[in-house]
Amino acid sequence: MKIVAALTDPSQASSAQDLGADLIELRFDLMEDDPLTCVQKCRDACPLPIIGTIRSAQEGGMFFGDATAWLEKMCPVIPLVDYIDIEQRFASCVSQVRASGTTIIASHHTGIMLSLPHLFALERDLRAYGDIVKIIVTPHNKGDILELLEFTHAIKKPVCTGVMGAQFRYARAILPLFGSVLVYCHTGTRTAEGQYSVQEFVSLMKLLKNG
């Protein structure tokens, strides 16, 4: 399991590393500077691997463009980052990203809970173009959490699963124990409701692994 520091300010990268992050996510849709400038600032601050992300408004972000606009914004940094998050709606851009050798995180974020059959079908669709599958859902009860844990344990790896919202934020701490390979945290400014800070999550993992 790797801790990802999801940043809206690349100057926080050094602090994220000091706190215990393993990777940096640059949320380009939440940053004022262009992606190239953000990556350069991040590289100057620390050597951690970088995930480049432009999250669409449909999946909780602030990007309102289509696949062509997404690629235009992302293109300058494709060779410079280690991972690129690609939602299904932008999957037509995969060939350009793949040509650079960059690892692809195929992602889907939804404000509902998906049934187990739907989760398994979605994983197959995302795995068709991604190296790592990322599925984030919104549980409505504890039964939904149990199904998400079951799915995470059973599915082909590598996979990242998680939850949206604060109600069941504890699932963020449990899912890595069942096989989720990435957990997204903050360093002061949350990029999603319910995120733990990097420091909190490092402490949680120490407690859970020693328990």
Q: Which of 41, 109, 118, 186 is catalytic?
A: 109
* pLDDT at residue 211 in the model: 52
Length, in residues, of the chain: 211
pLDDT in tens, 63-84: 999 999 999 999 999 999 999 9
Give the 3-state DSSP-derived string for 120-141, with helices as H, strands as E and coil as C: HHHHHHHHCCCCEEEEEECCCC
Which CATH topology does 2-210 take?
TIM Barrel (3.20.20)
Could you tell me if 48 and 21 are in contact, meaning their C-beta atoms sit under 8 angstroms apart? yes
Q: Which of 73, 134, 142, 156 is catalytic?
A: 134
Is 153 considered catalytic here? no
For the chain, what percent of residues have pLDDT higher than 70?
Answer: 99
Is 142 considered catalytic here? no
Q: What is the value of pTM for the model shown? A: 0.96
> Is residue 27 classed exposed, middle or buried when 0-12, 13-18 and 19+ CB atoms within 10 A define those classes?
buried
Q: In Å, how far are 8, 51, 73 from 33, measured between CA atoms?
A: 10, 16, 11
pLDDT in tens, 11-64: 999 999 999 999 999 999 999 999 999 999 999 999 999 999 999 999 999 999
* pLDDT at residue 208 in the model: 83
